[in-house]
Amino acid sequence: MAKAKGTIEDLRASSGDQLGDQLSKLKKEQFNLRFQRANGQLEKTSRVREVRKQIARVMTVMNEQRRNAG
């Protein structure tokens, strides 16, 4: 759990543009992982779950920043 806490603090220190870039990168990775899983080429299946959780973290911080700005 300590790893995630350090990650969320790093995300909160990031700007909106950086978060948007990171979100698009994670979405592309998620897309590629789905194709690999469908083709039976995915070796590290836990990565799918990790990426999904990272996307949720980034979106949470983006929503927090949007709420605080308004």
Show me where the domains of the chain are located: 2-69
pTM score over 0.95: no
State pLDDT tens for residues 18-70: 999 999 999 999 999 999 999 999 999 999 999 999 999 999 999 999 999 87
Q: What is the pLDDT of residue 44?
A: 95
Model confidence at 16: pLDDT above 80? yes
CATH of domain 2-69: 1.10.287.310
DSSP readout, 1-69?
-HHHHHHHHHHHTS-HHHHHHHHHHHHHHHHHHHHHHHHT--S-THHHHHHHHHHHHHHHHHHHHHHHH
Q: What is the pLDDT of residue 3?
A: 62
Model confidence at 2: pLDDT above 60? no
